[in-house]
Amino acid sequence: DIQMTQSPSSLSASVGDRVTITCRASQGIRNDLGWYQQKPGKAPKRLIYATSYLQNGVPSRFSGSGSGTEFTLTISSLQPEDFATYYCLQHNLYPWTFGQGTKVEIK
């Protein structure tokens, strides 16, 4: 199985901060990676697909980059509604695997 190592597992940040979350794959996955946001009691919502493509309706402050084994989700200016848990998902090889999540909390 491809292991997805996500870091950090949690972070505290203030509104307006730039936030970066990283996912590292145990082997190359081309650009077959997505980023999801999950709020309490809700299903995950996709923000980014194919590493860097913004899902329709997602604010442009979210961006994704990377290739191969190292991927990054960046929130350019954190907003109050962005406090949530973020996950990466590799869909290059079965079984598809998720990162363990990054909880973004208010500082």
Partner 1 sequence: QLQLQQSGPGLVKPSETLSLTCSVSGGSTSVSGFYWGWIRQSPGKGLEWIGSMYYNGSTYYNPSLKSPVTISVDTSKNQFSLRLSSMTAADMALYYCARARGWFGFDYWSQGTLVTVSS
Q: Which residues bind partner 1 (CB under 8 A)?
A: 1, 32-34, 43-46, 49-50, 55, 87, 89, 91, 94-98, 100-101
> Using CA atoms, how far apart are residues 46 and 58, in angstroms rounded to an integer?
9
The minimum distance between CB 70 and partner 1, in angstroms, equals: 18
When the beta carbons of 44 and 66 are compared against partner 1, the nearer one is: 44
Which residues, other chains included, contact 2 with Cβ-Cβ below 8 Å and sequence gap of 6+?
25, 26, 27, 29, 90, 92, 93, 97
The minimum distance between CB 49 and partner 1, in angstroms, equals: 5
